[in-house]
Amino acid sequence: MFEFKTIALFIMTAVAEIVGCYLPYLWLKQEKSILLLIPAAFSLALFAWLLSLHPAASGRVYAAYGGVYIFVAMVWLWAVDGVKPTLWDMVGASIALIGMAIIMFAPKSS
């Protein structure tokens, strides 16, 4: 159960971070409304808060989170940007997820 909660929390954190960065991108690169910066700021605050909810040491959480972020970014690439990830994109994302699982779920010595 711990593993599912951890991964779900990482996924929510990644989505909050990506949204928080994507909305300013729309304003800066696609000339969308500057008002997008308001929900972007809330999304980035949510990202920081979600990242703080993990019980593990912050350095371990940040390292493992990177693997989930890579995977979620590939899903975003496909679902939002409409660009199908390549085989190599998915291989890389899978390796990142394996790294996340090793960092978060391997036995820890005290």
Q: Are 66 and 96 in contact (CB under 8 A)?
A: yes
pTM here is 0.85
**Taking the mean position of all CA atoms in its chain, how far away is CA 22?**
12
Residue 18 lies in a domain: yes
Residue 50 lies in a domain: yes
The total domain count for the chain is: 1
Residue 110 lies in a domain: no
Residue 52 lies in a domain: yes
Residue 49 lies in a domain: yes
pLDDT digits (tens, 9 = 90+) for 37-84: 999 999 999 999 998 887 776 788 888 889 999 999 999 999 999 999
**Is residue 109's pLDDT more than 80?**
no
Question: Which residue shows structure tokens 């599912």?
Answer: 4
Q: Cα(44)–Cα(8) distance, rounded to whole angstroms?
A: 18
Tell the burial category of 30 from Cβ atoms under 10 Å away from its Cβ (0-12, 13-18, 19+): exposed
Residue 35 lies in a domain: yes
Q: Cα(78)–Cα(11) distance, rounded to whole angstroms?
A: 16
Which residue range forms the structural domain that includes residue 95?
2-105
**Is residue 88's pLDDT more than 80?**
yes
